[in-house]
């Protein structure tokens, strides 16, 4: 591995890639746990309208779309920049 390929070490002793992996794992697990808790609201102990369910799902989709946009922006891509093929 050349010097340019060496991971940059932070003062904490972990590279930026290691820090990303550690935080992304923890935060993704927390987000998935919260989504599972939302799923619990579909049980028989609760009553909700189709409109309410659609609002919850739309909010989650919007948040995921925004997150995807941020990741793509960082990588220099634009949403939908991949050509469509069958």
Query: Do the domain assignments include residue 72?
Result: yes
Q: Which residues pair with 76 in a beta bridge?
A: none
Enter the pTM of the model: 0.71
Report which of 29, 28, 55 is spatially closest to residue 41, judged by C-alpha positions.
55
Same domain, 41 and 52: no
Helices (H), 1-86: 16-40, 50-74
**57: domain range?**
48-78
Alpha-carbon distance of 31 to 20, in angstroms, equals 16
Which tens digits make up the pLDDT trace of 5-61? 566 666 679 999 999 999 999 999 999 999 999 999 999 999 999 999 999 999 999
User: How many domains, in total, are found in the chain?
Assistant: 2
Which tens digits make up the pLDDT trace of 46-72? 999 999 999 999 999 999 999 999 988
- C-alpha count within 13 angstroms, C-beta hemisphere, residue 51: 0
Enter the tokens of residue 30.
């927390």
Query: Do the domain assignments include residue 38?
Result: yes
Say what the pLDDT of residue 84 is. Answer: 55
Same domain, 40 and 54: no
Query: Do the domain assignments include residue 86?
Result: no
């Amino acid at each position: 591995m050349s010097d340019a390929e060496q991971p940059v070490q932070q003062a904490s002793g972990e590279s930026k890639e290691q820090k990303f992996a550690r935080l992304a794992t923890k935060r993704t697990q927390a987000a998935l746990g919260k989504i599972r808790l939302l799923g619990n609201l579909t049980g028989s102990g609760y009553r909700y309208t189709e409109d309410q369910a659609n609002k919850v799902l739309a909010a989650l989709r919007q948040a995921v779309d925004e997150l995807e946009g941020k990741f793509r922006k960082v990588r220099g891509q634009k949403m939908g920049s991949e050509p469509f093929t069958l």
